[in-house]
Structure 1
Amino acid sequence: MTLASMARKYEPRRLPDGERQATSAMIASLAAEGYDTVAAPFGHALVEAARKDERIVGLTADLGKYTDLHIFGQEMPDRYYQMGMAEQILMSAAAGLAREGFIPFATTYAVFASRRAYDFIAMAIAEENLPVKIVCALPGLTTGYGPSHQATEDLAIFRGLPNMTLIDPCDADDIAGMVPQIIAHEGPVYSRLLRGKVPSVLTRHKPDYKFLLGKAQMIREGKDVLVISTGFMTMRALDAAEQLARDNVDVAVLHCPTIKPLDVETIAAEAAKGGRLVVTAENHTVVGGLGEAVAGTLLTRGVSIGGFRMIGLPDEFLEAGALPTLHDMYGLSVAKVAEQIKSWL
């Protein structure tokens, strides 16, 4: 963090209508206006699955309450392991339990899994192809605490790791749907996690939506622009599409919750339709994430499109502050997504 950014950390900002907006880093809620929310979908889905499968155990590195694993711990204390603030031990213990026939769910913050525990995940879990499910809160820019807690590069780190499946769920529908599917998946999984009161987005736009591991799904059709999005940026893309429709800009949204393995067939097929501008949108650095994965797919397959752009976080350490301020600053807010898309047409 620079001296200038430190000075701005507590500087009052003004919204377009002149209202002052606090920028305390303590504000860490995800704005989702107009959507119903579900309380702790991951914790409740895991409890439901564990009632049917005695192999499921839960581990956390002193963050059960902040990954919603505490719900599992309350219901099944004999299968809940509090490892303390020791992420490397957390992953090693999860690997050991997997070797004994269990299906461990290891939870912490995304920065701690991807930065502190990477070598242990690589050697003890991924190389052995063990069924450890690593589910991590505070992905990307979902906290105002600054670079120490903003996991802006976690997907890039894990994309290069063999055997690892990567998931970036959009909402409560994705989270509840992914839990039984990653349990059934035989290898290791790294999933980002939205916790607490999580919006229910996808079924409002597509009532028959069901999470499918490894599959991208079209949530909204459109003839002018194709947005390929993941994580909560699918929600932002859908809301931006509704705004742009008022300006006669027709935006399609293809939701891609599984980053690896990427659904290259669906992405290539949809991008090839109609010469539309293709835009990727992700809550992650533009280096090594969904955008570059999609670009590589289109290039190697020779898909002809009407232009390509990426919405994502810059290749830098981000500032601290209130999420609405930061999302607007870095182009992840609905208004900024709509503004960028319109400027590229």
Structure 2
Amino acid sequence: MKPAVPPSTGKPRLTTSAMIASIAGEGQRTKPAPFGHALVELAKSDERVLGMTADLGKYTDLHIFAQALPERHYQMGMAEQLLFGAASGLAAEGFTPFATTYAVFASRRAYDFIHQTIAEEDRNVKIVCALPGLTSGYGPSHQAAEDLALFRAMPNITVIDPCDAHEIEQAVPAIAAHQGPVYMRLLRGQVPLVLDEYGYSFELGRAKLLRDGAEVLFVSSGILTMRALEAAKLLENDRIGAAVLHVPTIKPLDAAAIVDACSRPGRLVIVAENHTVIGGLGEAVAGLLMRESVHPAFRMIGLPDEFLAAGALPTLHDRYGISTEAICARVKEWVG
């Protein structure tokens, strides 16, 4: 069978294997297990920090923590409801548990336990979940395309969508210092390094402009910030100047930064996210702009409102319009 050739690129894409794979491009700088290593460093200076998982330590990089601090590691088995109930109890006793699993299991299987035992009680639990959005090719059972919408709707919870290894390393101590429940998406394994090239530092609740441009403004989070930065460089060849506003904190939004960036006249605003277009960053930004009476030309790049196919990630990212090449094609269509 010949490899599929997406019309936007003319380049072959894998159609099999690599279903759970790094989202790093060929030759891209990466860092191994940034979350696991950052949590170990945090725990060395704070004895309240615990690491917990539901039989997925290796796949959430918590095995790094388990090896370094086995007495503070809790393996709860394949029981996500128990994981979060126990984390709530430990938080009530003054600990700071980092509870890890896949995003689908936290947002779907254990949602009520998180809602009732963590969010409603305002417990200091940090929920850190791998395979967010379309970062697994194993189909609807493992693709958390709606996790941000679900957790945005939950009172008391802060929601974070980091872009790369650099940001994950900085976000771990930041969310630990924040009093209250946090849901953070996790990139695991060999995680790309991107934001260090822009002198970026993570601040909870803050959006930051990474680059400027006159024709287009990307408002983005997670790996779509990486894709937006890549697209912005390519769009320069077509004399399209693209700015990128990175929004790692989905809730609460940095309203002032978003409104200020979107108020610049004559610029197309494109919200880009690795999440369904229903209920995520795009609709959050759209609602904010409507409330503030700011009305730019507005588009959204995200996953469709459907159950996604299984397959290799490069093929799926092209198919659903979140690869760098697909983003460039959409922007040139909209701007032209």
Provide the residue aligned with 1:311 in structure 2.
Answer: 301
State the AA in 2 paired with 1:237: A
Cα-to-partner distance string for 1:73-131 (whole Å, 9 max, x where unaligned): 00000000000000000000000000010000000000000000000000000001111
The letter for the 1-side match of 2:293 is: G
Name the amino acid aligned to 2:30: T
- Structure 2: where are the runs of 5+ without partners? none
CA separation in 2, counterparts of 1:310 and 1:188? 29
Measure, in 2, the Cα distance between the counterparts of 1:20 and 1:233. Answer: 19
Identity of aligned residues (%): 64
Contact 1:166 1:258 in 2 (8 A): yes
CA apart distance, 1:19: 4.4
Counterpart residue number, 2:233:
242
Residues 1:19 and 1:270: Cα distance change in structure 2 (over 3 Å) = closer
Structure 1 residue aligned with 2:56: 63
TM-aligned CA distance change 1:126 to 1:11, over 3 Å: farther
2:39 counterpart letter in structure 1: L
- Cα distance in 1, alignment partners of residues 164 and 247 from structure 2: 12
Counterpart CA distance in 2 for 1:245 and 1:18 is 21
Q: Are 2:37 and 1:47 equivalent residues in the alignment? A: no
SS at match of 2:238: coil
Amino acid at match of 1:309: R
1:227 aligned to which of 209, 214, 218: 218
Residue in 1 that maps onto 2:67: 74
Q: CA deviation at 1:173?
A: 1.1
User: Per-residue displacement from partner, 1:27-46 (whole Å, max 9, x unpaired)?
Assistant: 52213345311110000000
TM-score using structure 2 length: 0.96
Cα shift at 1:12: 4.7
- Distance in structure 2 (CA, Å) of the matches to 1:155 and 1:11: 36
1:199 alignment counterpart: 192
Work out whether 1:188 is the aligned partner of 2:177.
Answer: no
TM-score normalized by structure 1?
A: 0.94
Residue-pair matches, total: 333
Q: 1:154 aligns with which of 138, 147, 157?
A: 147
Runs of 4+ in 1 over 4 A off after TM superposition: 15-20
Say whether the 8 Å CA contact 2:128–2:183 is kept in structure 1.
Answer: yes
| Partner residue of 1:278 out of 269, 277, 285 | 269
Whether the 8 Å contact between 2:126 and 2:175 is mirrored in structure 1 is yes
CA deviations on 1:3-62 (whole Å, 9 max, x unpaired) are xxxxxxx99523665747332363522133453111100000000000000000010000
Query: What does residue 118 of structure 2 align with?
Result: 125
Report Cα offsets for 1:269-294 as digits up to 9, x if no partner: 11101331100000000000000000
Q: Specify every segment of 5 or more residues in structure 1 that has no aligned partner in the other structure, as ranges.
A: 1-9
Distance 1:224 1:97, change over 3 A: same
TM-superposed deviation, 1:297:
0.7
Equivalent residue for 1:258, pick from 232, 249, 258: 249
Distance change in 2, residues 1:147/1:11 (3 Å): farther
